[in-house]
Amino acid sequence: MRAAALRLLAGLPGAQEVEQNVPDLLGRKGTAVKFSFPASWLAIKLVIDPASGKFLSSERTGGKNGTTVGLESGWTDAKPTAPAAALR
């Protein structure tokens, strides 16, 4: 299932490159799928943990640059809490 999801991402329009063992900002290694959209100068890199299929990070360039890091994901009934100020 996870391998199929990565193949699906790699087959989407704009997908340019798939690279393994790519570190995110926290040093976690994952599989990166890079997308490029030349008409808008936008480029996006998604890093996914191949073992769990969880999102690790994304990076976008062109226009409004930025990085998003996934700290934790999962199902819960508890009220969410904001991460520590040092991580924001």
Residue count (the chain): 88
Say what the pLDDT of residue 4 is.
67
- Each of the 88 residues of the chain gets a pLDDT tens digit; together they read 566 666 776 777 777 778 899 999 899 999 898 888 777 788 889 898 888 888 899 898 887 888 888 887 777 888 878 877 776 5
Q: How many helices (H) and strands (E) does the chain have?
A: 1, 5
What pLDDT is attached to residue 12? Answer: 72
The CA-based angle 51-52-56, given to 5 degrees, is 100
The confidence score (pLDDT) of residue 29 equals 94
| d(C-alpha 27, C-alpha 18), whole Å | 18
Going from the C-alpha of 81 to that of each of 24, 41, 67, 72, 76, the distances in angstroms are 23, 35, 21, 11, 12
pLDDT value at residue 27: 92
Q: Hey, what are 84's tokens?
A: 């520590």
Q: Which domains does the chain have, with CATH numbers?
A: 2-70 (3.10.450)
